[in-house]
Chain A
Amino acid sequence: MGLELNELLDMAKRCRRNIVEMTSAANAGHPGGSLSAIDILCALYGTRLRVDVSNPQWADRDRFIMSKGHASPGMYSILHERGFLSSEDIMTFRELGSPCQGHVDMKWCPGVDFSAGSLGMGLSFGLGVALAARMQGSERTAWVMLGDGELQEGQIWEGAMAATHLEVGNLKVFVDRNGIQNDDFVTSQMRIFDVAEKFTAFGWTVKEIDGHDMQQICDAIAWADSIDDGPCCIVAHTVKGKGVSFMENNPSFHGMAANPEELIVAREELS
């Protein structure tokens, strides 16, 4: 797609508006983790991922695996930008029969490659996808997004260990390090300490960035593409609820939508 920086910034703003609108309309969903992840999604879908809206099941497409599946509003907003979903589709979020299920689901939504919703599974799935691509001699790449709270799941580290052991060079991970999980701040629930150090200790090549600096994100994607001898991880430091003042760094908006009064404020801030 190859969008320019200013186009990516505009896209991110439209996505943020849609995230707030669709969760508010549903009076449910997870705006906080969608807003923290959306700049990364825009950079990936706007500059890097080879996908085909006219053929969502194209065998050699790159795969994006949203492991933190509750960030579905973020996914639906970016899939709308790429033409997989209409503006009407995304406003049916969480309704009966909607392609926009509560958590992203490959059986319901075109452009979704992994049925998420239970944390800790996406890295392993991405590893399988990456292994398959390597065995088939394909250049397609598996990009996985993990939440930071999700790193508390043991399966993540099973997958991290296996990815190094198997030396998969086509597996790229973003950690959305927003510091908040369902109940409260990550530091209060289960400290995960230095994420970059942990992945480094597991043998990964690691880079830390500001996950809201579009240029840094684009540079990090190019950096990840340059690594082909093993898995790499980009720890993106982000702000939960980024872009909406009352949602920023507020654990309440992990899984709560803006009410009608709040929606008015959010619309103004994102205009």
Chain B
Amino acid sequence: MSGISTPGASRDGYGAALLRLSEDSRVVVLEADLGKSTKSCHFRDKFPERTVCLGIAEQNMMLVAAGMATSGYVPFASTFAIFTERGFEQIRNGIARPNIPVHICGSHGGIHTGTDGSSAQSIEDLSIYRTLPNLTVIHPCDDYSAEELTVQLLNHAQPSYTRTVRNKVPRTYTADSVTNLRIGKGSVLREGGDVAIIACGVMVHEAVVAAEVLSQQGVEATVVDMHTLKPLDEELIASLAAKCGAFVTAEDHSIIGGLGGAVAEVLSSTHPAPLERIGVSDRFGESGGADELLEMLSMKSSDISGAAVRSIARK
């Protein structure tokens, strides 16, 4: 078993949450060979009798989890984000459609995964899972929030998909402040009236840095950690449309269909306002360091602040 990696990686938060959840005997953990990576290995070490290792067979894992969930258990099933997609139709027909509370975690999401290259960098998971009725879609920004939101899933009556990431990023929350998070409610990290930057995952930190730079230039930004992509906090977006009138979204994900797409859907149908989307343009990633890739794909804080200026100019 690998040790817990440096604090700040959301996958560590997932692993910590499973240990907290272990007090409830209904909780079972399912793995498809990657427990050391997703961090479900810590639960497995302590509770092997409540851990089901299913080998490299994700489609089977999804339906085994569904069967257990209809028999009194609360299953948490994890693998890499990209490999959950191999079981997409199993999730669609076997979990979301009958609304069976199975909690799926896809780790190593986004190009931030880095040197493994494009085959391991899911940049479409949030988009495809967002289309499924009944499924809650979560993407926390740090280890503390991943732990808190995963713990909250225990009594979540619907199935969910949570994307975590491999690498550490600076923490957004403290052990205290994170307890204010609620599934389905965007978390306002900073208040400003000129532009709203809505981010998720590793891009939350980039958004906070961008807002600080903008402030030095006299532009005040509201920054939201939109950790829940579905159900989306439309009320918050509506209030920001009235308050700021210009938006930027930032995600380590394709700009098609993910957070940017979700916010665009709300704005275009209810509160038209300019929106600039920062994320992976219509392309795949490649091998490289996380920061190198963010830079190459124009996803750094400077790209967010530039997008904020453009969005404001379009008001």
Contact = CB atoms under 8 A, between A and B. Distances in A.
Interface string B38-63: 00000000000110101101011111
B173 interface: no
Contacts of B61: 124
A65 to B, nearest CB: 8
A126 B63 CA distance: 8
A117 interface: yes
Interface string A116-130: 011011101111111
B94 to A, nearest CB: 5
Contacts of A155: 57, 59-60, 63, 90
A155 B72 CA distance: 24
Contacts of A166: 52
Contacts, number: 97
- Shortest beta-carbon contacts, A-B, top 7: A128-B67, A124-B63, A132-B71, A158-B60, A158-B57, A128-B64, A129-B67
Nearest to A132: B71
B93 to A, nearest CB: 4
A125 B55 contact: no
B66 A162 contact: no
Provide the main secondary structure of the chain B interface.
Answer: helix
B93 A162 contact: no
A165 B59 CA distance: 17
Contacts of B97: 115
A135 B98 CA distance: 23
Nearest to B97: A115
Given A115-B93, A136-B72, A124 B67 contact: yes
Given A132-B72, A136-B72, A161 B64 contact: no
Given A128-B71, A131-B68, A161 B57 contact: yes
Interface stretch (A17-25, A42-50, A105-113, A214-222): A105-113
16 contacts: A59-B71, A59-B72, A106-B98, A115-B97, A122-B63, A124-B60, A125-B67, A127-B63, A128-B67, A129-B70, A131-B52, A132-B71, A132-B73, A155-B63, A162-B57, A162-B64
Contacts of A127: 60, 63-64, 67
Contacts of B308: none
A43 B29 CA distance: 36
A106 B93 CA distance: 12
A120 B52 CA distance: 20
A233 interface: no
A135 B99 contact: no
A133 interface: yes
A57 B177 CA distance: 41
Interface size class of B (residues with CB under 8 A): 20 to 34
B292 interface: no
B65 interface: yes
Contacts of A133: 71
B89 interface: yes
A118 B63 CA distance: 12
A169 interface: no
A102 interface: no
A165 B57 CA distance: 13
A125 B63 contact: yes
A107 B99 contact: yes
B64 to A, nearest CB: 4
Given A135-B49, A155-B90, A162-B57, A124 B72 contact: no
A29 interface: no
Nearest to B89: A118
B34 to A, nearest CB: 16
A62 B253 CA distance: 44
B68 A124 contact: no
Nearest to B93: A118
A129 B68 contact: yes
Nearest to A155: B59
A154 interface: yes
A121 B94 contact: yes
Contact of B67 (A107, A132, A136, A165): A132
Contact of A162 (B60, B75, B89): B60
A120 B61 CA distance: 13
B70 A113 contact: yes
A32 interface: no
Interface in A120-161: 120-122, 124-133, 135-136, 142, 154-155, 158-159, 161
A211 B52 CA distance: 34
A135 B50 contact: yes
Contacts of A154: 59
B55 A126 contact: no
A186 to B, nearest CB: 22
Given A118-B93, A121-B94, A158-B57, 18 more contacts: A59-B71, A59-B72, A106-B70, A113-B70, A120-B59, A122-B63, A124-B59, A124-B94, A125-B64, A126-B67, A128-B67, A128-B71, A129-B67, A129-B70, A130-B67, A131-B68, A135-B50, A165-B55
A161 B97 CA distance: 26
Contacts of A162: 54-55, 57, 60, 64
A131 B66 CA distance: 11
